[in-house]
Amino acid sequence: MNSKSETDEASRGREASSSNNNSTPNISAEEQSQPVLCVNPVSGSTQDIMKRAAKELIERYFYQLLEGCGNPNCDNEYCASSQKAKKLTANEAAAVAIKLAEKKEALLCDRHPNKVPRTDTNTCDSNSSTCETSNKKVKKTSSNQKTELSENKEQEDSQGKEMANESSPIITKQTECKHNKSTNSGPLTEERMRELCDECLQSQSAQKLSWALGSAFRQPHVLALSFRRQINENEPKPESDVKKDKESKAMCSSSDPDKDIDSVTGPEFDAASCHRAFLYLAKVPSKHYSSVLVSALETLALNLKIDLEISKKISMEDVVNCFVIAFEIPDIGCSDYLEVALPTLCHAVEYLPLKAQARLARLWSAYCKESLRHILEALQQLITLRVVSTNYSRIYQVQDDECVTKATKLMKIVYYANMLAGEVEQNPQAEEAVVIASQLDPLGDALHDLLPLSSMKTSKQSLPEDPLAVELKINSLDVRKPYLPFEEFYNEPLSDSIEMDIDFASYKTDVNSATKFAFLNYPFILTAATKSLGLYYENRIRMYSERRVSLLHAVVGAAPPMPFLRLRVRRSHIIADALVELEMIAMERALDLKKQLMVEFEGEQGVDEGGVSKEFFQLIVEEIFNPDYGMFTQQPDSHTVWFNPTSFETEAQFTLIGIVLGLAIYNNIILAVNFPMVVYRKLMGRKGAFEDLADWNPSLYNGLKDMLDYSGDDLEEVYYQTFRICYKDVFGNNLFHDLKEEGDSLFVTQANKREFVDLYADFLLNKSVETQFRAFRRGFVMVTDESPLSALFRPEEIETLVCGSKNFDFNELEKSTEYDGGYTADSRIIKDFWCIVHNLCIVEKRKLLQFTTGSDRVPVGGLSYLKLVIARNGPDSDRLPTAHTCFNVLLLPEYDSRDKLRDRLMKAISYSKGFGML
């Protein structure tokens, strides 16, 4: 820096210092002696002082342009309080402030009250025991100014002293400096927020409220000290708390910022007080403070991001508290917040270490349950707004939109907080792990070495668990009832806009070499229909890899194996033929189960392009789940099927039934099965518990729950129940079982009723069918062991994946239907067709779906995902309509009347089983 520039810089620094002194009237000698700036004795050179002075001058211009001086009669065109000033954004104000700092004639107003600059506190040198203080002599204001401001200033200064005595702004362990606080620049409290809001509502002037919010939210170390629980130091602490404080101090002395951030000494953050304060703030019209708060939140997010990424001066506890307070703001879902503040906050949260994210989730779940919906709705609005207002393409996809991806990452923390805030099963029991012996496939392994799929992970690699879930020790399988329904986390516009082939490629890319965001790593935000498409790609890639192995066998001259899983069955013996063939395949080479299924009915012509397989699964399910077959029983209350505990069938047959269920999912075929939800939970690895009885047997569940709720001392006489239970077999015979040794002599009382209920549920759902279910699950895992099924889907979604949607909305089917052969949506016969269809009962509608698609089930996501094609099949004739079920094509002659169309259509759908479907 040359001498001339140094002189100008120093003069501007003196001007800034003089302006500061002139703008602070009526300051006592005690206040003058308080330390306001910590100067490092090593680095306190003249050049550093001038730089700080110039920076302070720019900041004063910035605050003056953005917030004003507070004088309603101000005539400075560079002050926001003046009527002459233009309304500027934060970025515009910063640019103008830099220009004004270079002008000698630029005016600085007297602040009313004084604003504490953002750079008011510096870290002291670690080797210095005390901080240097600079005592400034303050000039008195003119008589006119003193007459106008004296009364208000005295009251504000006294309040500022009280606030300074309540809490000192400790930034780090090494920083012990105090700075002068005015009324509107200290930490926020519930009482102070109420006072400022009441004053704003009464006077219709929001200057003090805006300054208080802006000052606190711009400075992380000030905001972190806000809403602290008041601790009475005179009250003796219990010995347990004293011991805990000593342990916390020892933990906090570690230099690792991620270590034990849940155990930090000092005043505790009062989330309830914070929530009440911002509820009170909601009474004030947001126009009074919105612009200032948006700018302050943006600055806060940038400061936190810099601290988390570079400086690391603020403790993790304080950083997390800042985020909790920021997301308590009532108007965070408004347009200004969505466009400016919320994206920057989402970006800053991404830099939180794992333990800090876990702490944020725990704080939200324990103390801010009421705010979870508010935060989730704001994030959903942000994502939806970006998706619907942006034209994505193959070049710029939604995965490239950082605003969407950062919000999704933050939503994951909300997702886990929502689970922690709900009803979580304590000490859940896990099903015994199923071990599938690895089978040698030397040619397949050689092919993978010769032709690797780039950086794609092989399906043999197990998917890692989410680190945040591991840290929180939470699993969606253990959540009986989340605080908010899981469905509220779905974002349908986002799910519809994702190019799943690209997202799936990013999802399967090795983590170390991944360069692109994948929404499949955040499955809670995607609908089941979108995730099922990702599963479809996973299964198809596996099928194609099996074909490559067959090709390699042919190249090397070996006997090429069948590239498909081909089943040849007779309609009259469909169960026996299917089970025998599947058993042989499972014994010889279980890997063949992962090939594409091809079914052939003996004595019938046709190539299986999907329709024949659908019919095969429908026929086999109808027989195998028939109670007369003896493998499953019908639950009378819930109308669900359950394993027969006294079945005469072997374990091998239950294993083959599990293979059939796995093949249906693997080949994207919907089955007409009606399992209770506990079956899908058990397939995912959790044993049944008392809560599962509500879906399995509602009558029994209600009776046992009444017993648990009964609080009388005469429970033994009222219920007269022992630990011996009675149940019926498939033939209606009564069977008895002792839940405990000598259970017939042990009565249920208030002391042991919970034990009885748990043992009862465990026997019915686990122990009584342990042999049958273990074999069934083994067969299911043989097909799905390498699939990301458990990582992407919850048990409720797997039920939808297996059974399809329950929404029979044929209006959606009409909108998605395409026409061919000369038909259009305006054709007379097409209008007659839909008029007839909409008047059918639900049974007849199922028959129509069966006739046209080969299945009477609704696809995942609804009938809008079923692409039906209606094609013209010649002029009017007496022929019945026909269908190509493999391609969902209905061939409809152009009948000359609606009555004839109704008659032919009803005959076709009523007598089509076994013939007419290709």
What residues have CB less than 8 Å from 777, skipping those under 6 apart? 431, 434, 658, 682, 683
Going by C-alpha positions, the residue among 892, 883, 813 that lies closest to residue 850 is 883
What residues have CB less than 8 Å from 158, skipping those under 6 apart? none
* 886 catalytic per annotation: yes
What residues have CB less than 8 Å from 76, skipping those under 6 apart? 64, 69, 82, 84, 85, 107, 109
b/e 20-32 (16+ beta carbons within 10 angstroms → b): bebbbbebeeebb
SS (H, E, C) 215-226: HHHHCHHHHCCC
What residues have CB less than 8 Å from 433, skipping those under 6 apart? 685
Going by C-alpha positions, the residue among 655, 687, 651, 658 that lies closest to residue 431 is 687
Give the integer Cα–Cα distance in Å for 844 and 858: 14
CA angle 427, 428, 432 (to 5 degrees): 125
The label of the residue with tokens 């994948």 reads: 518
Residue 664, CB-side half-sphere exposure with 13 Å CA sphere:
29
CA angle 303, 55, 118 (to 5 degrees): 40
DSSP symbol at 740: S
What residues have CB less than 8 Å from 395, skipping those under 6 apart? none
Q: One-letter amino acid identity for 471?
A: E
Strand partners, 269: 228
10 Å CB burial of residue 780 (0-12, 13-18, 19+) is buried
CA angle 446, 449, 455 (to 5 degrees): 145
> 787, 666 in Cβ contact below 8 A?
yes
Strand partners, 734: 728
For residue 416 the two structure tokens come to 């886990």
Strand partners, 565: 597
Helix (H, G, I), strand (E, B) or coil at 468: helix
* Per annotation, catalytic residue among 69, 131, 403, 886: 886
Q: For residue 392, what are the CA distances in angstroms to 384, 386, 388?
A: 13, 10, 10
The label of the residue with tokens 């002068």 reads: 180
> 664, 671 in Cβ contact below 8 A?
yes
For residue 193 the two structure tokens come to 């927020």
10 Å CB burial of residue 493 (0-12, 13-18, 19+) is middle
Q: One-letter amino acid identity for 162?
A: E
Helix (H, G, I), strand (E, B) or coil at 180: coil
The label of the residue with tokens 């391609």 reads: 887
For residue 204 the two structure tokens come to 């219709």
Give the integer Cα–Cα distance in Å for 101 and 91: 16
> 662, 779 in Cβ contact below 8 A?
yes
b/e 620-648 (16+ beta carbons within 10 angstroms → b): bbeebbeeeeebbbebeebebbbbbbbbe
Alpha-carbon dihedral 360, 363, 365, 367, rounded to 10 degrees: -150
Q: Which residues are catalytic?
A: 886
